[in-house]
Amino acid sequence: MSLRAIKYENNTLEILDQLLLPAQTKYISVRGVEDGWKVINKMQVRGAPAIAIVGCLSLAVELKNEKFESKKQMRQEIEGKLNYLVSSRPTAVNMKIAAEELIDLANQLSKDDSVSLDEMKAKFLQTIEDMLAKDIADNKAIGDYGAKEILARVSGDHLVRVLTHCNTGSLATANYGTALGVIRTLHKMKRLEHIYCTETRPYNQGARLTAYELVHDKIPATLIVDSMVAAVLKHRNVTAVVVGADRVAANGDTANKIGTYQIAVLAKYHEVPFYIAAPFTSVDMSIPSGDHIVIEERPDREMTHVGEHRIAAKGIACWNPAFDVTPASLIAGIITERGVFRPEQLKEQFGQINK
Amino acid sequence: MSLRAIKYENNTLEILDQLLLPAQTKYISVRGVEDGWKVINKMQVRGAPAIAIVGCLSLAVELKNEKFESKKQMRQEIEGKLNYLVSSRPTAVNMKIAAEELIDLANQLSKDDSVSLDEMKAKFLQTIEDMLAKDIADNKAIGDYGAKEILARVSGDHLVRVLTHCNTGSLATANYGTALGVIRTLHKMKRLEHIYCTETRPYNQGARLTAYELVHDKIPATLIVDSMVAAVLKHRNVTAVVVGADRVAANGDTANKIGTYQIAVLAKYHEVPFYIAAPFTSVDMSIPSGDHIVIEERPDREMTHVGEHRIAAKGIACWNPAFDVTPASLIAGIITERGVFRPEQLKEQFGQINK
C-alpha cells in the first residue's frame, strides 16, 4: 500500500510528522483546529494541497463533536476558525482559497431557510471530506493518464525507466501524488523497471521525502545528486522524465522546483520526453507566459548549512531561487486528471471547461 | 595575493590543513617525510598535483638537514623514503610518477662519477624545488592563455562573467590553479565582473574550497547549487564556462568531476562557450576516446550523510560516480600551458612535442 501521510477515518485525523523524516516515522493526532494550526505552522505537514486539506480536516474533526445552538452561531464559528487556520502559514495560498470557499458555503447554508441546523453541519462536513477524496481521485487519474502516455513510448510489454525531481508524492498532496502518482501507477501495473530520483538541493526533498516514499512502497529506485542527471540520461536508457508543477502559464511554460528547467534541457539533448504532472487547477490562464511568473528567492542559509552544520565557506554570497521556469517548447505533455495535453492545447481545453 | 595552500621558503614547509576548511584556516608545519606521509594520508592535503608536490617537498626538507657518508647511502635513503611516501595514498598516481622520476634521477647521479656528493644533493634538491616552480608557472601560463581566449569573446574592454565547477584552485594544485587560475588572471586584469561557482555535490568542493578561495582573494563571486546552472546561464549573461580535467583522451573527450558533462550540455544549449583548463600532462594519448575511461564509483555515504548527519532516507540505493565524460563536440577549447587547442588539434600538438 502506498504511503499515507494523512489518515482520516472514524472522525480521527492523524498526520505523518514530516519534520522527523527521514529519521523517524511518527504520526501525530490532530484533534481540532488548534492542533491543525500547530502542525501547519511548525511545518510538520507541507506541500500546498496537503496544508489546505489538513487545515480543513482539522476543522471537520472539531465541528463533528460540537453542539451548536443556531446556524448563525455555527457560521460565525466556522469563519473564525478558518481565518485562524489561514494565519498558520499566510503564504500557503491553497489554505486561503479553501477557507474562502468554505466561508462562502457556510454563508449560503446559513441564509437558506430550507436547510436545518443538522443538515447544514452534515453538508459542510461532507464538502470537506469530498476535498480529500477529490484530491486523491484526481491524483489517481493523473497516474492513469500518465502511465498510459509513458507506456505508449515502449513497444509490447517492455518495462520503463523514469527520472523524477523533488517530491510530488503522498508527502506533498492529500495522498498518492502527481508525478510520483504516475510512477506509483506504473509500479502497480508491474511496468516500472526503475526510478531515478534527484536529491533536489538545497532543501533535499528528493533525498529526504521521495526516497522515503519509494523505500516505503518498495519501488525499485536509485538516488542521484542533481549533477548526475545527464550521466543517467546518457547511460541508463530512461524512457521519460516526469516532474510536478507549481504553476503552469497559459502558453504551457511551467514553474517548478529549481533544477527542473535544466533537467528539461538535458532531456531534450538526450531525446528523452519530458512531462509535467499536475492537477488542472495548476494551470493559470491569467498568466500569459513564464516571463510573468515571479520567482521567490529563499534564504542563503538553506544552501550554506545542513541543520546547524555549515557546509559552505563563510562570507560567500549565494543565489537561492526556489523555482525556475521550463519553456513550453521543452515539454512533451502536461499530465492532468482530465488527460494529457500538449502545451499549446491548454487554452482550448480551458475554453471547453468554461463553456 | 592569491591563497597559498603550500608555503615553502627558507627550507621550511607549511601546508593549509584542508580538513579544517572552510571552518578554520590553519597551517601545519611539515618537518620531513614522516610529517609528509601523515598530511597526505589524513587528507590534510588533497588534489593529485598538490599531493605529489607536498610529498616531494617533505623529502627536500628532510634531506637538506642531513649529512650523508656516500652517494650510495644517499641514493638508498632517497629510494626508501620515496617508496614510503607513495604508500601514504596508493591511488594518488602523481606521487607515484614523481617518485619514479626522482629515484631514476638519484640512480643516475649516484652512478655518474663526475658528480660529487654535495653536487648530487644540490642537484636533487633543485629538481624538487623546480617541480613546485614549474607547476605554478604552468598554472600561470594557463591563466594567461585562458584569460586571453575568453576576453576575445567580448568587445572592447567589457567585463566577463564566468561559471566554474568543483575546485581547481590553490587547494588542488601547487598554487594558483587551472580553471580557477584563469579566473584569478581575469580578476587581476580587472576584467572579471563575476564568477558563479557550483556547490559540487556530493563532496561539496565548490561550496567548501572554491568559495573559500574566492572569499580569500576577494573575487566577486556567487555560490549556486548544481541544479541552478541552467537558470544562471539563461539569466546572468555568462561569457564562458571554465572547468578542470582529470584526464583528456586523444580525441579531446574529457573526464572531470561528476556534473561537468551536464554543464557542457547546458552551455551548448545557451550558446555559452565551454572550456577545459588543464596542464598538458593531463592529455593521455594512450586513451583514444572517453569510452575507454573507467569511471570510479564512490561510497553511498558521501551522498547520504553530511558528517555524521544522515540526509537521505534509510534504505535508498545510490549511484555515486566520481567523474563523467564530456564529449569533445561540446568543448570549445582546451586551455593548457602551451596554448589553447580545439579538441581535434591535440594529436597534432602532441606530435610536435615528440618530434
Section B60-70 average pLDDT = 94
Active site residue A253: no
Residue B129 CA to residue B55 CA, distance in Å, equals 12
Distance from CA of A254 to the nearest CA of B (A): 14
Task: Report how far Cα A60 is from the mean position of its chain's Cα atoms.
Answer: 22
pLDDT in tens, chain A (355 residues): 788 999 999 889 999 999 899 989 999 999 999 999 999 999 899 887 899 999 999 999 999 989 999 999 999 999 999 999 999 987 667 888 899 999 999 999 999 999 999 999 999 999 999 999 999 999 999 999 999 999 999 999 999 999 999 999 988 888 899 999 999 999 999 999 999 999 999 999 999 999 999 999 999 999 999 999 999 999 999 999 999 998 899 999 999 999 999 999 999 999 999 999 999 988 989 999 999 988 888 899 999 999 888 999 999 999 999 999 999 999 999 999 999 999 999 999 887 765 5
Total length of chain B: 355
User: Tell me, what's the ipTM?
Assistant: 0.92
For residue B247, the one-letter residue type is: R
Integer CA distances (angstroms), A38 to A16, A51, A57, B163, in order: 14, 11, 14, 43
Cell numbers given for B121:
644533493
3-state secondary structure of B231: helix
Distance from CA of B274 to the nearest CA of A (A): 16
The DSSP bridge pattern shows strands B12-16 and B27-30 to be antiparallel
Give pLDDT, residue A46: 84
**Cross-chain CB nearest to B312 (options A22, A227, A319):** A22
Q: Among all chains, which residue has been given the C-alpha cell 521556469?
A: A325
**All residues at 6 or more sequence positions from A153 whose CB lies less than 8 Å from its CB, including other chains:** A160, A239, A240, A273
CA dihedral sign, ordered B314, B317, B323, B326: negative
Distance from CA of B123 to the nearest CA of A (A): 41
Residue B15 CA to residue A325 CA, distance in Å, equals 45
Question: Omega before A273 cis (within 30°)?
Answer: no
pTM to 2 decimal places? 0.92
Q: pLDDT class for B353, splitting at 50, 70, 90?
A: low
Most confident listed range (A168-172, B37-41, B88-92): B37-41
Q: Which residues of A touch B226 (CB under 8 A)?
A: 201, 225-227
Residue A242 CA to residue A195 CA, distance in Å, equals 10
B223 and A317 within 8 Å at the Cβ level: the answer is yes
Structure-model confidence comparison of residues B86 and A353, the more confident one: B86
A313 and B227 within 8 Å at the Cβ level: the answer is no
Strand order in the sheet with B339-341: A317-318, B221-224, B192-198, B160-164, B240-243, B274-277, B333-336, B339-341
Q: Among all chains, which residue has been given the C-alpha cell 597526505?
A: B40
- CATH of the domain spanning B6-135, picked from 1.20.1260.10, 2.60.120.10, 1.10.1740.10, 1.20.120.420: 1.20.120.420
What region does B299 belong to: left with phi over 0, alpha with psi -120 to 50, or beta? beta
- The CATH H-level superfamily of B156-353 is Translation initiation factor eif-2b; domain 2 (3.40.50.10470)
Q: Which residues of A touch B169 (CB under 8 A)?
A: none
Cell numbers given for B323:
567523474
- Looking at chain B, the domain(s) classified CATH 1.20.120.420 span 6-135
Instruction: Burial-class residue A77 by CB neighbours within 10 Å (0-12, 13-18, 19+).
Output: middle
Section B25-51 average pLDDT = 92
For A49-107, the pLDDT digits (tens) are 899 999 999 999 999 989 999 999 999 999 999 999 999 987 667 888 899 999 999 99
Give pLDDT, residue A354: 59
Give pLDDT, residue B74: 97
- Looking at chain B, the domain(s) classified CATH 3.40.50.10470 span 156-353
A306 and B306 within 8 Å at the Cβ level: the answer is yes
